[in-house]
Structure 1
Amino acid sequence: MRNFLPPRSVLLLALMASVAMARERFPSVRSVYVRNDPQERAEQLFVTRDVTTVLRFQQPCTDAGTKILGWEGRFEPVVCAGKRVLIEPVQTLEPEDRFLLVVRLADGTEVPFTISGSSWKEGEWPDQQVNVFLEPDAPDALRKQLEEYKERERELWEQLRVESFTGSSENHTLAALLTQGAVRFTPFVARKAWIFKKEDSNIQATVLTDGKEKMAVLFRVTNRDPSTPWRLMDARLFVLPPGFQPPLFVGEGRPFALRTDKKVIPPGETGYVAVVADRSAFDSPQGPTKLFLGIFRHDGMMAAHVTLDRSLFKK
């Protein structure tokens, strides 16, 4: 009697699907920490048709002064119920739609929010419950932040396990962790940084190393274009020939691992690109060499570049 086992790829898909289904059983709950600062922008809420989004505050709200501007025909009347505010769209809202919600609390504080339609992008799924903390340093808020930090830590370890299961290289796993802000889970320490300011973007390039065998560059990309998304087209790592100065577009290529935290960076938002390479990338029969790393945006233009040398490693 034969035993037929599904291939590794099928097992992986089944695992990922079961994880996704399990997560969908949990309500979409998140916390926001609002400071009483007129310079702070209004927190954004993501809603979807015929689903009630609940805001939970630390004190009661009042019907007088709590309102959505231009809500008629698009939302049920906003409801204050003790420390909760209920919002329910009755029409489909697009991600680009914007409505202003003002919540007035019992002590007279007014808290503004921007409401828009949800999308399937990471971080823009429909909100079912949003816990609002007006004093981020208060005990309840600090306790909640600690809980969220531990949950984030658990998710990062899960990501590390999945990366290993899929057969990704160690460098790909390290690059993925860097894009998620998890430097402390890697052996890397920041050594130097540059900032590239352009009309369409601000990019901070941070060079990191473990001091012995590996190096990394983390690009923090902020899209300043008011209407066009920012997309990564390519990244290149190659030898910088003697006598040549960057920027450079050709050369002897070197292997590296690449990861991004999102495929597209919408206008006004920030994303991360991480590159990890081994120390052996510097090896050359011609002796000591420098490396040139460049990232290129969707239209083929170079967005940022750095030059790397052996001084990153301890002697």
Structure 2
Amino acid sequence: MAVARDRKPYVRNVYLRGNPKHQATSVYVTGEVVTVLRFQQPCDPARTKLLGWEGRFEPVECAGKRVLVEPLQDLKPEDGFLLLVTLADGKELPFTVTAIAQNKEWEWPDQQVNVFLDPESPAALRKQLDDTRARERRLEEANERHWRENTTDHALARLLKKGDMKLTQLRVRRRWFFKEEGMDLDATFLSGKGKAAVLVQVTNRDPAKAWSLAEARLRTTRPGEKAPILFGEARPFALQKDWGELAPGASGTLAIVVDKSAFTSQEGPCDLTVELYRHDGLLVGHVVLDRRLVR
């Protein structure tokens, strides 16, 4: 099963050294979601302002040591708005409010940004230690994922994702095009020696919202059974995709490769169903892999 890791609130720590007025720290936001900037001392509401916010943001609010920013809709990475925060002692801190670049699928918009003006303070040092431990965990997970995906099936999925079908022994058997709410799916079924695959072209038809994949499931399927498959056996598969988040109107490719052994359950030979779940957990599409693909 390929599953997105459960997301905790994304809290980022920022350590400002030297004269913070000489540099603007980026704050990454998303539409209709409040991002909180948290400081070590109260802010001055009268001298805290976001330039050019009218029609794009809710009014910026200061609440003690916190500044709240909420865009009315998603921003583009090239958008940048200057947020000037003034602390109670008169110190001015500039920030650039913007959006995550689409190709940085490993990053998330900020939900809270903790700002430290003294990196050597006990609170800042504790946060730096937490950051170091978090980086080590991410490196360990990336290393584990690298070895887990160092298989023949993942290599085939990577070739399919890049459009290098001619470099594989897989051949197209049939295609299936269907529409779901806000998206189009164009599925190409392939088979080869002991392998079956499905190549899915996903197009986001939502005029305003981005689309991302939270989870893909592969389960054994009885004849006539319909998705979601609740009681089928989970089967292993290789998944590769060339996108992290699809902007409105954008398309991306998803490749899934399944070994012949996956088409056998405790009850004998079986078909398999691939289920695709979007970022909010909604099942948005499914395709059935017929066991005859690996005959």
Normalised by the length of structure 2, the TM-score is: 0.49
